[in-house]
Structure 1
Amino acid sequence: MASNRSKGSQKSGARRAENNRIYAHPLPLVFSTPDTGSKLGFGHVLGLFGLSRTRIENPHCEGVFDPATRSVWITNQRDSAILWRRGFFGKGDLSRSEPSWLARQTSARKAAGKYMTAEEVREKRRAERKQFKMDRAAAIAKAAAEAEAAFAEGREAMPAVIPSGATWKPQEPNENAELPEDSPEGDGDEADEELEPLEDVEHLQLTLQEAFFLIWNLDCLTVLDPHTSEPLSLKDIWKAFQSIHCIPPELPIYSNRFDNPFLVNYAAYHYYRSLGWVVKGGIKFCVDLLLYKRGPVFHHAEFGVVVIPVYEDPADQESSPFNLPNANTFSWTWLSTVNRVNSQVQKTLILSYVTIPASSRISPDLLSSPACLAHYSVRDVVLRRFIPARMRD
């Protein structure tokens, strides 16, 4: 027993070491120092003058702006790997997080008829769990009917047997069932060679907030126009990301608005990214953002963030053409629901209040550049669910 436990710890330790090696860089930019082989070389002389030989390696990734999905597509496999492994930016459009569609399809092709893939094991467990719930519900209904009949007849009901998770076992397949046809004779490697090579049709999909962070703060992403395939300037990207929430964008009511959804969401995203958190979408847990300490490969998200816009001037909210989520007063029922969902999955709920500057105080001309983001402020309120049985100390 101890030997199996030690083998498991060695395996997990090796996996952890491999993840530390693959995801060693927190951002796409890499800082490197050339090795001169001598401590008193040219680098030492530069250090006397306050200079450093550290170089910044910029990967210069490339993506295509897609207005229909409000995202930026990274179709190059190299760029996708860099942006995911260095900061966990984006998600695969055919995957749950990491763009792993090609690897999963290759693994499924190799495992055909030999062993079950991870996805097949997961689907089998889900089917068994569903069957267990159905069997348990049927046993409970049968026991209730038997008890009711026994009460009507004036006799003692037979003891009911309700399956539990510890004793229930899935039904074995029927031996008389038809077996699948054998695979063609021959070596498995030869059969794999006869198959056509798989084409990677998956792309990495960046949100507008992630894309603009890579463009404006790190300068490591070039966005192409979807029609002309020409690189877009920072000014064009700034306008395009805001106008995507304006339908139609030509209406004057959308112009010069500090409460544009892109600006509000980016202010919150930039705030947490600048503090070193890995920020991902949190719709699965009824929140706007999830905060990871290092990334989804290492740990589960520690915090769930709900972005709440707050208008500095109430008049701006009355004249706003945007229906910002959580801008109006929310109910305690909604708050309790969200807090309960996150507490059940060991996450702390954070209410992030993003203050929208008043248009009467700041000139709308600032909206022509990202300099207007300096006038937004973010305030955090940590909310914990009170459980009397656990919080007596």
Structure 2
Amino acid sequence: MDKPVAAKSGPASDARPPRAPRPPRPNYRQIHQFPLPVNVHHVPPVIPHNPLSLISVALSYLTFLISPPRQEVYSAYFDKTTSSIHVTDERSINALWQMGFFGKGSLSRSEPSWLAREKKRRGLHNGKTSEEMTRLRRTERRELKLERARMEKLAIEERLKAEAAAREAGVSEPLDQAAQSTPTDDTTNVTAATTEKFSLKKAKEARMLEEKKARELAAQNAALAEQNQPETSSNNKSVRFSPIVQKKEFLSTSPSSLQLPDSVVDNLDSDDFPNEEHLQLSNEEAFFLAYSLGALQIYDSPSKLGEVQSTSSITTSALLQQFCHHSFQPARDASASLLPDDPFMISYTVYHHFRSLGWVIRSGVKFGTDYLLYNRGPVFSHAEFAVVIIPSYTHPYWSETEERKNYTGEKQARSWWWMHSVSRVQAQVLKSLVVCYVDVPPPAASLDDIGALFGQYKVREFLIKRWIPNRTRD
């Protein structure tokens, strides 16, 4: 017969408040289900032992011939001052970001979220923005690390106390057995607390307890200050505000933000709120969208974005020359001849190479590299690889004269200190360093055939791992 189990009794302080539920995350799988801004007609598979599959394939091809998928073409303009491409249409901004993570917000770190942040600041939006979610996750991780460090410090202190007590008593048996044979109530409670599993819940409870103590201490100090405050004389002058000023209340969570009154919030329409942010594309991203996918039309000024005629947009050949000229700082003259080792030619070759392999490529300037490679995108996981581009002159053309040898040697020069610093940074941020050598061909006579031009470039990849003597002794 089963015996009833007695309920565990404990102090009232052990009762923990229920954890507040986290807000649901957006369904990124549904939002970013298309890897590129291209409409693709899906063809059903052919099953050899099922003749009906041939009928489904034939119907699919017939549907494609009758109503082929329409390719959406987006518009942008080239800004010569920043040497970048700007997309101002909100629908185009959402499409280019959601399908391939192209560009970055001009007023945001990555995703164009300035409008949501501004609505949140003005009281028009109740949800949490992506920046707020990131800040919340970082705060939770910081609290967890502080709580873990505090528990580890407490465990070390108790360990040292137990060892000192064992030395004073002259116990010859091991410390673990002595601790098990003669435990005290205090050490038992502390040891149980140290062996307790670290969790974010305990860190939040500790923080709430500290805030509660701080509020109580502040309330006590305020009460003592009111009691000790001397009475003011009747001769002192007093200032009285008008009833209109007294009725106005301003609630602020930070010195730079004010919450709008309810009457003003009601008059503002969230749909009519202007969006002052645009999507900023790099030259490599814009040329990939315009030339490889045909999903982008680039104009030379923002005033021509509303034109419907496709002849007003910049051609791919002119766009390539313009990007090559603006790959230098300051930009070269338009009459200057193009070289096969222009920075844009080298960087776009690597960009096109990894994009064709299915990687999501972002700028790696914050880690001291050229590119970052994501498996699916920045909203799913961190970048796995960091790419550094180095031009290589293996073609016999570059070694024919002494002048060309000196030129190529200067272009390829990299110091050991540079490689060590880049590798050290990537090891610190848990990324693998990939060195891409781009074999530069001899100068081409014409730029009309862009496919044949980039077909002469070759990319060689090398994965470099930092050697740590303490971990790789064997």
Structure 1 contact 238–369 (Cα < 8 Å) conserved: no
Instruction: Trace 1:1-393 onto structure 2 (pairs within 5 A).
Output: 15=25, 18-32=27-41, 45=55, 47-48=57-58, 51=61, 53=63, 55-110=68-123, 118=132, 182-183=249-250, 189-195=262-268, 198-226=273-301, 229=304, 230-245=312-327, 247-250=331-334, 254-311=336-393, 312=395, 313-314=398-399, 318=403, 327-359=411-443, 364-370=444-450, 371-391=452-472
Shift of 1:257: 1.2
Corresponding letter in the other structure for 2:249: D
Structure 2 contact 324–338 (Cα < 8 Å) conserved: no
Structure 1 counterpart SS, 2:459: strand
Q: How many residue pairs are counted as aligned between the two chains?
A: 333
Aligned mates of 1:63, 1:187 — CA distance in 2: 35
Shift of 1:391: 4.3
Instruction: Summarize deviations over 1:131-180 as a string: whole Å, max 9, x none.
Output: x9xxxxxxxxxxxxxxxxxxxxxxxxxxxxxxxxx999799696769xxx
Corresponding letter in the other structure for 1:211: A
Shift of 1:7: 6.5
Instruction: Summarize deviations over 1:174-219 as a string: whole Å, max 9, x none.
Output: 6769xxx8338x9965441245853101000111100110111111
Structure 2 gaps of 5+ residues are 1-14, 45-49, 147-202, 226-247, 252-258, 305-311
Query: Closer, same or farther in 2 for the Cα pair 1:297/1:120, shift >3 Å?
Result: closer
Aligned mates of 1:222, 1:96 — CA distance in 2: 25
Structure 2 contact 322–334 (Cα < 8 Å) conserved: no
Structure 2 contact 122–260 (Cα < 8 Å) conserved: no
Shift of 1:5: 9.3
| TM-score for the superposition, normalised by structure 2 | 0.60
Aligned mates of 1:218, 1:50 — CA distance in 2: 23
Instruction: Summarize deviations over 1:223-248 as a string: whole Å, max 9, x none.
Output: 11217623122222222222224644
Aligned mates of 2:416, 2:299 — CA distance in 1: 45
Aligned mates of 1:302, 1:293 — CA distance in 2: 7
Name the % identity: 33
Corresponding letter in the other structure for 2:458: S
Instruction: Summarize deviations over 1:234-265 as a string: whole Å, max 9, x none.
Output: 222222222224644255xx414111111111
Query: Closer, same or farther in 2 for the Cα pair 1:225/1:40, shift >3 Å?
Result: farther
Point out the more displaced range, 289-298 or 45-54.
45-54
Shift of 1:27: 0.4
Shift of 1:31: 2.1
Query: Closer, same or farther in 2 for the Cα pair 1:318/1:277, shift >3 Å?
Result: farther
Aligned mates of 1:25, 1:120 — CA distance in 2: 24
Aligned mates of 2:338, 2:134 — CA distance in 1: 52
Query: Closer, same or farther in 2 for the Cα pair 1:315/1:215, shift >3 Å?
Result: farther
Structure 1 contact 33–53 (Cα < 8 Å) conserved: no
Aligned mates of 2:462, 2:134 — CA distance in 1: 42
Corresponding letter in the other structure for 1:299: S
Aligned mates of 1:105, 1:317 — CA distance in 2: 60
Query: Closer, same or farther in 2 for the Cα pair 1:32/1:250, shift >3 Å?
Result: closer
Shift of 1:277: 0.2
- Structure with more strand by fraction: 1
Structure 2 counterpart SS, 1:213: helix
Structure 1 gaps of 5+ residues are 133-165
Structure 1 contact 63–74 (Cα < 8 Å) conserved: yes
Shift of 1:375: 0.3
Shift of 1:314: 4.5
Aligned mates of 1:316, 1:273 — CA distance in 2: 36
Structure 2 counterpart SS, 1:367: coil
Query: Closer, same or farther in 2 for the Cα pair 1:47/1:70, shift >3 Å?
Result: same
| TM-score for the superposition, normalised by structure 1 | 0.71
Aligned mates of 2:417, 2:379 — CA distance in 1: 33
Larger CA Rg, structure 1 vs 2: 2
